[in-house]
A and B are shown apart, each in its own frame.
Chain A
Amino acid sequence: MITAGIDVGSLTSKAVIMKDGKILSSIILKSKPRPWESADLAINGVLEKTGLSMKDINCCVGTGYGRDKIPFIHQARSEIACHAKGARWLMPSARTVIDIGGQDCKVMKLDEKGEMVKFITNDKCASGTGRFLEVMAKAMGVELSELGELSARSKNPVTLASACTVWAQADVIQHLNEMIPIEDIAAGINNAMASRVATLVSSIGIEKEVCMTGGVAKNSGVVSSLEKTLGIRIKKIRRDDPQLAGAIGAANYAETLLNGGKI
């Protein structure tokens, strides 16, 4: 049984091909302005890696903000449900899932069977999302992926006066002009991000194990700052890339569909 999951996000698009519950191949690429273009690129890319073609896929489920615009999927599912499902596949003991995506942040609580029982998402503003980090990294002239490593070397993190993306960017530029070490600014950015996310996590209530999915899960600076702020340990996902959680969840749902289940 071969299934595919595709997650068309605002910044990146992800796709996975799974066979009997195991990942055959996966892909993460930058999203195009049109969701169907991103979906085409992602599915073709991931199929190419396996040598399979679309007709070999028994079922495909789509998710992400562009889910309703993907022409080749059998069903669309919300990214909240898919991330919860994918997180559970990546870490079967997970009960609280923190997902920080490109333009939203969500926290999901799962019951012992892995069913989502509660969720909360951020408001419309970019603060507390991947976009916040992207804007800050650009202002600093570093790669997004460098932020975690940089902040680990910080000795004296700065405090950003505001969690608002626009004001925080102005703050970052001012710190750069004052010749403050780039490591301390990076740590300040990660702390600001973590404190914003922590408010959301606290409001839903934490239950162990806690894991993080989405691209920001790969930023060790945000993860460790979040652990400090919340006073908890966030268990690192090792089974696969945490950024693939949504696509994995979608592929899992595709399997449920094939087995005659209702999703």
Chain B
Amino acid sequence: MTAIDSELKILLEKPLNHLVERAINEGMIPIGYACSMVPEALISVGKLFPVSMRAPGSEGTEMADLYLSSVICTYARSLLEFALDDRYKFLGGYVFTAGCDHLRRLHDNLDYLKKPGFSYILDIPHKTGGAALEWTIEEITRLASALEKQFDTDMSRESINKAIEKTNALNRALSAIGTLRKSKHPPFTGTQYHRLIMASRVSPAEYMMPLIEKFRKTAEDSEGRSEYRARLMITGSGLDDPEYTNIIESQGALVVADRYCSGSFPGLEPLDSSSNPFEALARRTLEVTRCPRMMEGFNSRAEYIAQIAEEYSADGVIIESIKFCDTWGLESAALTDQLRAKGIPVLRVEREYRQSGEGQLRTRVQAFIESIGH
């Protein structure tokens, strides 16, 4: 597992990794996005490919702090800092959603300070239902037209369905590996799987597939892990740094499931590529992402987490939220109560986007594992 893990690590060191560089040299166009509600398949059509925006190794947000207030989360601030530092200059454009106010402010500032060749913000309703679906279909159709116009890419239904198939194939491959975590002795750690997922979100699918296959084969040949004290699930705000998972695992835990917007749940569910692709994409955004920004469905979101915890035999759940995250900040309080009422031990932690307070996190996780009797 060490060799493939090292390859994945390299892909996560900086936003412009060697696979993205290779794709750009071959005429492909990277499109940045920063919310799981963005339909990734739509920005995978033709020569386009999605790059999940991260700020690996962020050392501070001095410049971004001048433009974004201190109650804007450090994820949004770190992305702005990286953009101001020209570390996202390689992108052909950005697609955002009005997922939360923090991302909206980020989008406004990017537009004002570093106007890219293409910038689009999708307006997604906070409710599901017929009218919301119709609205989202229209929004996605408009985005498709804008992408077609800007990048001269064929946005016919056939092309989009082809891109959906490509995205589905990538997600199916990741999902099949993820299922191995259900085993009593999974052949890889949560950190290694986190790296695989994140590398797949920041690299073109075509070039990632051989690496995913290599990971699968290596996993197949590896011995199962038995040296852990507790199986844990992580849920909460976007968590794109596998080092966080590593700190949790350093205390004797094995992270067996994850449900956060940049993780494997619920993002890997395949889309219908046989009918109207705009509707399939809109349904994914509204119904599959299960983001707490949606006004309804708290019970079903909580149930979903409890169900995954059970399926993957998690002994407890860690709910992490980035400081000032409105959506997860509110959700996590109610979610903690709901999960505890079901008898699931919960540890709730606030964090900054950038790795900090490592010692405290270690202590809390260790105490959590001890408190659940492991």
* Neighbouring B residues of A119 by C-beta, 8 Å: 367, 371
- Shortest Cβ distance from A104 into B: residue: B360
Question: How many angstroms between the C-alpha atoms of A124 and B366 in the bound complex?
Answer: 17
A78 touches B359 (CB 8 A): no
* Neighbouring B residues of A78 by C-beta, 8 Å: 363-364, 366-367, 370
A117 interfacial by beta-carbon distance below 8 Å = yes
Give A131-153 as 1s and 0s: 1 = Cβ < 8 Å from B's Cβ atoms: 00000000000000000000000
A117 touches B363 (CB 8 A): no
User: How many Å from the CB of B235 to the closest CB on chain A?
Assistant: 19
* Neighbouring B residues of A116 by C-beta, 8 Å: 367, 370-371
Those of A75-132 within 8 Å (CB) of chain B: 77-81, 104, 116-119, 121, 123-124
A121 touches B360 (CB 8 A): yes
A65 interfacial by beta-carbon distance below 8 Å = yes
- Shortest Cβ distance from B369 into A: residue: A78
Contact of A81 among B356, B359, B360, B371 (CB under 8 A): B371
Please count the residue pairs between chain A and chain B whose beta carbons lie under 8 angstroms apart in the complex.
38
B27 interfacial by beta-carbon distance below 8 Å = no
Those of B320-374 within 8 Å (CB) of chain A: 350, 356-357, 359-360, 363-364, 366-367, 370-371
B367 touches A81 (CB 8 A): yes
- Shortest Cβ distance from B347 into A: residue: A119
* Neighbouring A residues of B363 by C-beta, 8 Å: 65, 78-80, 104, 121
* Neighbouring B residues of A121 by C-beta, 8 Å: 360, 363-364
B350 touches A123 (CB 8 A): yes
A77 touches B357 (CB 8 A): no
B356 touches A124 (CB 8 A): yes
B359 touches A65 (CB 8 A): yes
B370 touches A77 (CB 8 A): yes
* Neighbouring B residues of A65 by C-beta, 8 Å: 359, 363
* Neighbouring A residues of B359 by C-beta, 8 Å: 65
B364 touches A80 (CB 8 A): yes
Question: How many angstroms between the C-alpha atoms of A123 and B323 in the bound complex?
Answer: 11
Question: How many angstroms between the C-alpha atoms of A104 and B360 in the bound complex?
Answer: 8
B360 touches A124 (CB 8 A): yes
* Neighbouring B residues of A104 by C-beta, 8 Å: 360, 363
User: How many Å from the CB of B251 to the closest CB on chain A?
Assistant: 8
User: How many Å from the CB of A219 to the closest CB on chain B?
Assistant: 23
- Interface SS, B side: helix
Question: How many angstroms between the C-alpha atoms of A118 and B337 in the bound complex?
Answer: 13
How many residues belonging to B are interface residues under a CB distance threshold of 8 Å?
Answer: 11
Question: How many angstroms between the C-alpha atoms of A198 and B357 in the bound complex?
Answer: 22
Which of B350, B356, B357, B367 has the most chain A CB atoms inside 10 A of its CB?
Answer: B367
- Shortest Cβ distance from A66 into B: residue: B359
Q: A65-B359, A104-B360, A121-B363 are in contact. Are A81 and B350 (CB under 8 A)?
A: no
User: How many Å from the CB of B247 to the closest CB on chain A?
Assistant: 12
User: How many Å from the CB of B185 to the closest CB on chain A?
Assistant: 20
Question: How many angstroms between the C-alpha atoms of A152 and B364 in the bound complex?
Answer: 35
Give B175-192 as 1s and 0s: 1 = Cβ < 8 Å from A's Cβ atoms: 000000000000000000
User: How many Å from the CB of B106 to the closest CB on chain A?
Assistant: 24
- Shortest Cβ distance from B351 into A: residue: A124
B357 touches A124 (CB 8 A): yes
* Neighbouring B residues of A79 by C-beta, 8 Å: 363, 367
- Shortest Cβ distance from B323 into A: residue: A123
Question: How many angstroms between the C-alpha atoms of A123 and B364 in the bound complex?
Answer: 11
A117 touches B360 (CB 8 A): no
* Neighbouring B residues of A123 by C-beta, 8 Å: 350, 357
- Shortest Cβ distance from A64 into B: residue: B363
User: How many Å from the CB of A83 to the closest CB on chain B?
Assistant: 10
* Neighbouring A residues of B366 by C-beta, 8 Å: 77-78, 80-81
Question: How many angstroms between the C-alpha atoms of A123 and B351 in the bound complex?
Answer: 9
Which of A78, A121, A123 has the most chain B CB atoms inside 10 A of its CB?
Answer: A78
Question: How many angstroms between the C-alpha atoms of A4 and B363 in the bound complex?
Answer: 21
Question: How many angstroms between the C-alpha atoms of A78 and B360 in the bound complex?
Answer: 10
Question: How many angstroms between the C-alpha atoms of A77 and B359 in the bound complex?
Answer: 14
- Shortest Cβ distance from A68 into B: residue: B362
User: How many Å from the CB of A70 to the closest CB on chain B?
Assistant: 15
* Neighbouring B residues of A124 by C-beta, 8 Å: 356-357, 360
Question: How many angstroms between the C-alpha atoms of A124 and B371 in the bound complex?
Answer: 22
Question: How many angstroms between the C-alpha atoms of A124 and B363 in the bound complex?
Answer: 12
Question: How many angstroms between the C-alpha atoms of A23 and B366 in the bound complex?
Answer: 27
- Shortest Cβ distance from B366 into A: residue: A78
* Neighbouring A residues of B356 by C-beta, 8 Å: 124
User: How many Å from the CB of A117 to the closest CB on chain B?
Assistant: 7
- Shortest Cβ distance from B363 into A: residue: A78
Question: How many angstroms between the C-alpha atoms of A119 and B370 in the bound complex?
Answer: 11
* Neighbouring A residues of B364 by C-beta, 8 Å: 78, 80, 121
Question: How many angstroms between the C-alpha atoms of A79 and B363 in the bound complex?
Answer: 7
Question: How many angstroms between the C-alpha atoms of A164 and B160 in the bound complex?
Answer: 53
* Neighbouring A residues of B370 by C-beta, 8 Å: 77-78, 80-81, 116, 263
Question: How many angstroms between the C-alpha atoms of A139 and B370 in the bound complex?
Answer: 39
Question: How many angstroms between the C-alpha atoms of A80 and B361 in the bound complex?
Answer: 12
User: How many Å from the CB of A116 to the closest CB on chain B?
Assistant: 5
* Neighbouring B residues of A117 by C-beta, 8 Å: 371
* Neighbouring A residues of B371 by C-beta, 8 Å: 81, 116-119
A residues apposed to B, CB below 8 Å? 65, 77-81, 104, 116-119, 121, 123-124, 263
Give 28 CB contacts A-B under 8 Å: A65-B359, A65-B363, A77-B366, A77-B370, A78-B363, A78-B364, A78-B366, A78-B367, A79-B363, A79-B367, A80-B363, A80-B367, A80-B370, A81-B366, A81-B367, A104-B360, A116-B370, A116-B371, A117-B371, A118-B371, A119-B371, A121-B363, A121-B364, A123-B350, A123-B357, A124-B357, A124-B360, A263-B370
5 tightest A-B CB contacts, nearest first: A80-B367, A78-B366, A78-B367, A124-B357, A81-B370
Apart from the given pairs A79-B367, A116-B367, A123-B357, 4 other A-B contacts in the complex at a CB distance below 8 Å: A78-B364, A78-B366, A124-B356, A263-B370
